[in-house]
Structure 1
């Protein structure tokens, strides 16, 4: 037994909260996923190829559990290819798998991002508008554009001077740090004003602002989503990559697990709903027939009340009937219309209909009222 005043380690407290509070487990998963994404970015920025592979391995199970089929199919192959590089080739590959355009710290970028930045330099301020329609001019621009961008970059570097190797990353500046501290304090004050949501060991998944509860299916997803992804990832690696017993082109079955904003499944067809309704009615009438044999029941009195959870006259399987056209409402009148009386005390006109019927050869609302609308109504 643990004493009441004995301190609990952070890891033990965390595991206890994860076990007892779905809201805590949800935000723990969010924090873990965001840290993985930041580590993945960090691997590129500091040119750490091993960290890149490890973070990619940690992210891949999420592609399986969240049904990102293309990523789930091909990223394990990419990881296998990168791990299969020979030592000599890998040493050379690690020197050029990212680009460094400046001497600033934490500034390496992936090769495709470097290509996009070079394309922006080649296009210039005006872009490539109009060149696609002229094949000769477009071909000349494609050949000479990169060279012109290179000469321009070299000229600017000579004019501005070489950058110092000790140059800091832009977010290490004082203004960026002050802004980050301001945002952190603002978030802390907001969370403090709303109250600590992790103090209550609530057994439901709650929204922090509105305290709305998620469904049981979403809570079950929070409990098992990580395990589902890791299991599918390991099984895919074993049967597709290691043993090769399953083709890589075999369809990957989607999990379709309930999420906070995932669309609900398609509703049943009208025929299925009608059959279910008839079965419910038959069950109700059979119970009524049995009860009427042993009790004095009045069927006429029973049928005075609705035996459905929703009125069948204005709804269909729980959904309100909405006519597609206003003309469908006329069928309810039975085709019998009352003629307008000869004598009356007042007339009521449909204002928008009158406006559309009257001519509009005026330029202002005042002229329309004085010259058209008011004379017609009087």
Structure 2
């Protein structure tokens, strides 16, 4: 710093030195100013934070805000950038490319907002809300729109920062930096969050401490124009990067590091030599060549045309439903652009409150550490722990904590009781350990949840088990009743790319493989997923909290492989998928020769006109008992042979036990193995009597358990106990 002061005094006597640096060097400069006020204090020189590095940091913040939302993949789908380049936009490594992506995003959001508002005005009769009121209503009620409005506000701050530099507007630049500060606190950029307020405070005091420097900044001398192009001014630290690039041309000082004198001569003389060469080339070739345009390169017709084409590609993605349109998604959930994944409300609320959280932390920092100085500037800034698409709350964290707390409590309790036992030698230690020390005995429950066994073991008692695959009698059935929840788990997503193709490409071929020439009716029964259900605990045990929400619509990409299994672990995903497929099956099979009945929530859909009063509406939650209703309905319609396809042992037990009540002459069920229920109902005499008795007791118990969930009738509005 002393060397800079001497050099400035030598070149321009009386000028106040201004040192430009990135955040780490700026930090050291300020510490030196405070430690040595007489030599390099704030009254002697001005420390300036480089705007190029601030922009790079702001693009990193933008990457954290946008990561996981599908924003980067949107550019890949529009073929503006390839997948790797699009992913690099989130890190802000390429400043110019990321800046271009931000400009496209702002224009894209503006066009979609205008289109959505025009569509709103065309709906019904007026009076309609103003655009501002309409936007505020969406911000408060539609999480997806609210998120992208937040993104828009952040990108506008970045664009104002760039514009302030390009047009030499010092107040606009400082205003953009002040608006950027809360985001530094929200996203945990602690270095810049510590020192950006200090820099802004110094710049606010500049008219009093260094009026000449402030006047120069107001004239636009806080940026550099290295060429004659319009709107091409750049920050001081970016100009320094260009000078370093010139030094590295033609090998630069390579090989001179051991020769300090030659290295210094090269570094001092080469920029001037390059400048002289450029001026000579301009003077020599200006007469023979056409006059060079002074317009900014991005204002050329070719660049403007490219920008418009890219903007049209992005708008077409939303128009063709390849991505979600932010201003048309009026649901109560936040969803991603590309995959339609539904984000937790906790994350949605965190992103909505991010500006307010950062602003509160910024105001508190300025008040306590700069204005009142009640806390040291070096104190650690607590992280906001902002939840985003990529920073999600941990899963099943409470389970481990509760187990650890329970173990500690048990240890302390047993220790106290055992010590009290030692004080009473007449007591029997065996009697002491006979009593439980918990409300829920560990032998019967796990953290208050009843332990369960393997339900499929009940089928081991069934005599005469055939081999895998449908039995010969199943091929003679005229009715096929399918447990569709099991079918969806069986079929892998292979050919289909989006949900709209899944029914036709993957599901229908499998369904046709189960039919024969005798098949005249197909009943497809789906489960319902009620939030306040007796089975909610079981779903959690099976990994119901390990899935992720995804919106189901025709253009949303279909999860593949392991992602498909995770998708099916979420009950809301399955509920939306089942209802969507039911509608698709009804449309797809409209002209088929067989009669299709498919359930949709409480209703039953049919591809042919038929009387569904006995089946719809139905309050049965599970497909287990609802399949029995459909079997009885087939018998009433004159069918005598039915084939059930399931992987649930409950269906096997219910079908055997209710065989005579259903009114069928023959019934076959395929679970993990194939069962001929007509023969299974009458066990051979060679079967051990204790096995038969045990099996009958299991069937009666299963029937009673299903009776608790709902009687075998569609008319019961609530489960009958």
- Normalising by the residue count of structure 1, what TM-score does the alignment of the two structures yield? 0.69
Q: Which moved more, 1:271-280 or 1:211-220?
A: 271-280
User: Deviation digits for residues 125-169 of structure 1, max 9, x if unmatched?
Assistant: 334432324434423322332332232233234334499898211
Q: 1:39 aligns with which of 160, 163, 166?
A: 160
Q: 1:172 aligns with which of 272, 277, 299?
A: 299
After superposition, residues 263-342 of structure 1 pair within 5 angstroms as 275=404, 284-285=440-441
CA contact (8 A) 2:181 2:362 kept: yes
Give distance in 2, aligned partners of 1:242 and 1:19: 35
Aligned to 1:135: 260
After superposition, residues 255-266 of structure 1 pair within 5 angstroms as 255-262=384-391
Aligned to 1:14: 135
* 2:193 pairs with 1:72: yes
Q: 1:213 aligns with which of 321, 324, 342?
A: 342
User: Deviation digits for residues 228-251 of structure 1, max 9, x if unmatched?
Assistant: 111111121222222222221111
TM-superposed CA distance for 1:100, in Å, is 0.9
**Residues 178, 200 of structure 1: alpha-carbon distance in 2 compared, 3 angstrom cutoff:** closer
Aligned to 2:239: 114
DSSP 3-state at the match of 1:124: helix
CA contact (8 A) 2:170 2:217 kept: no
Give distance in 2, aligned partners of 1:7 and 1:21: 18
User: Deviation digits for residues 285-331 of structure 1, max 9, x if unmatched?
Assistant: 27959xxxxxxxxxxxx8855999879xxxxxx9xxxxxxxxxxxxx
* 2:140 pairs with 1:23: no
* 2:372 pairs with 1:243: yes
CA-atom RMSD in angstroms: 3.6
Give distance in 2, aligned partners of 1:109 and 1:161: 26
User: Deviation digits for residues 262-305 of structure 1, max 9, x if unmatched?
Assistant: 2656997999686368589955427959xxxxxxxxxxxx8855
* 2:254 pairs with 1:125: no
Give distance in 1, aligned partners of 2:214 and 2:389: 42
Aligned to 2:183: 62
Aligned to 2:205: 84
CA contact (8 A) 1:100 1:107 kept: yes
User: Deviation digits for residues 63-110 of structure 1, max 9, x if unmatched?
Assistant: 011111111111111111111112443112334211112222111111
DSSP 3-state at the match of 1:254: coil
**Residues 237, 41 of structure 1: alpha-carbon distance in 2 compared, 3 angstrom cutoff:** same
* 2:307 pairs with 1:186: no
**Residues 142, 263 of structure 1: alpha-carbon distance in 2 compared, 3 angstrom cutoff:** farther
Unaligned segments of structure 2, at least 5 residues: 1-123, 411-436, 446-450, 456-536, 547-721
User: Deviation digits for residues 341-365 of structure 1, max 9, x if unmatched?
Assistant: xxxxxxxxxxxxxxxxxxxxxxxxx
DSSP 3-state at the match of 1:213: strand
CA contact (8 A) 2:229 2:294 kept: yes
**Residues 130, 35 of structure 1: alpha-carbon distance in 2 compared, 3 angstrom cutoff:** same
* 2:254 pairs with 1:98: no
Unaligned segments of structure 1, at least 5 residues: 290-301, 312-317, 319-378
**Residues 266, 99 of structure 1: alpha-carbon distance in 2 compared, 3 angstrom cutoff:** farther
DSSP 3-state at the match of 1:125: helix
Aligned to 1:52: 173
**Residues 287, 148 of structure 1: alpha-carbon distance in 2 compared, 3 angstrom cutoff:** same
Give distance in 2, aligned partners of 1:247 and 1:211: 46
DSSP 3-state at the match of 1:148: helix
CA contact (8 A) 2:333 2:342 kept: yes
CA contact (8 A) 1:36 1:55 kept: yes
Give distance in 2, aligned partners of 1:104 and 1:256: 44
CA contact (8 A) 2:224 2:233 kept: yes
